[in-house]
Amino acid sequence: MESRVPLPTDNIYKFYALFGLLLLIFSISSLVYVNHSTNTLAFDIAVEYTTLAADPARSVSEEARFQVLDNKLKIAKKNKTIFLSSLGFFAGVGLLMIWYGFRTWHLVVQPLQDELLKLNIEKLKQDLGKGNK
């Protein structure tokens, strides 16, 4: 199976940079998703939770429901913190990979490739000059 998207596999630094970019995009979109899903959960149970919290004389079933909703909110907050922290770490790694890959590609590899191309052009011109004589 042949890929329709050409991947720059000729240079490891290009790969680092583009993989870092992919990691950053994934992290940012996941941050938005985690935030949205946690907010949706909180908004879905907010009215019932507030209603049960305001009632001092709750029945046993209402108290159990209140405890479940309270635990659900605490777990959602904790999960959100953990997910956002880990996604922030991945975004940071992605940014470092982007910086290192593009920097090394631009400052180390590309000047060598430009010089090689220039030398090849000069050699071809010399060969062409010798062929005309």
Neighbour-count burial of 122, counting CB atoms closer than 10 A to its CB (0-12 exposed, 13-18 middle, 19+ buried): exposed
What is d(CA 26, CA 22) in angstroms, rounded to the nearest whole number?
Answer: 6
Summarised one tens digit per residue, pLDDT across range 19-33 is 999 999 999 999 999
Summarised one tens digit per residue, pLDDT across range 26-65 is 999 999 999 999 999 989 898 888 888 888 888 889 889 9
Give this prediction's pTM: 0.72
Closest CA to 14 of 97, 115, 114: 97
Q: b/e string for 81-100 if b means 16 or more Cβ within 10 A? A: eebeeebeebbeebeebbee
Residue 132 pLDDT class (50, 70, 90 cuts): low
